[in-house]
Amino acid sequence: MRHRLFSFSQQSTRYVNFAKDVFFIDDGTHGENRNIWAYAMVRAAETYRDLIEAGEKPEIAKAVLPMSLATKIVVSGNVRQWRHFLQLRACESTGKVHPQMRKIAVDILGEFHRLYGALFGDLVI
């Protein structure tokens, strides 16, 4: 959430009960360690469900869920803010970007090229 001029609305893990469906993001960055990561995700989901079944509230049980937990987020900003974000994160104007954030930024830039080519067409990966 470094881009403070944006407006963020994110799904709260406090009020969502993940007992039925826990979704994790496998972005492919784990390579040959993917099995280790996948095992940890399965164990986290099982532990969460065990806590819920034991009567724990979702807002407490969520403490065992990892950062790979999928969430929904809506980001609002003006053209200037989006251009700045995309220059930093998709075009890597200031250096290497975390692979997960870069993938998101590249996907957004692709959509903006398609929808608003005149405003974002000069930004290239």
Active-site residue list: 89
Residue 90 neighbours by CB distance under 10 Å: 24
On the 0-12 / 13-18 / 19+ scale of CB atoms within 10 A, 82 is buried
Phi and psi at residue 68, in whole multiples of 5°? -80, 0
Lookup: tokens for 108: 């957004």
- CA 51 from centroid of its chain's CA atoms: 25
CA dihedral 13, 46, 19, 9 (to 10 degrees): 20
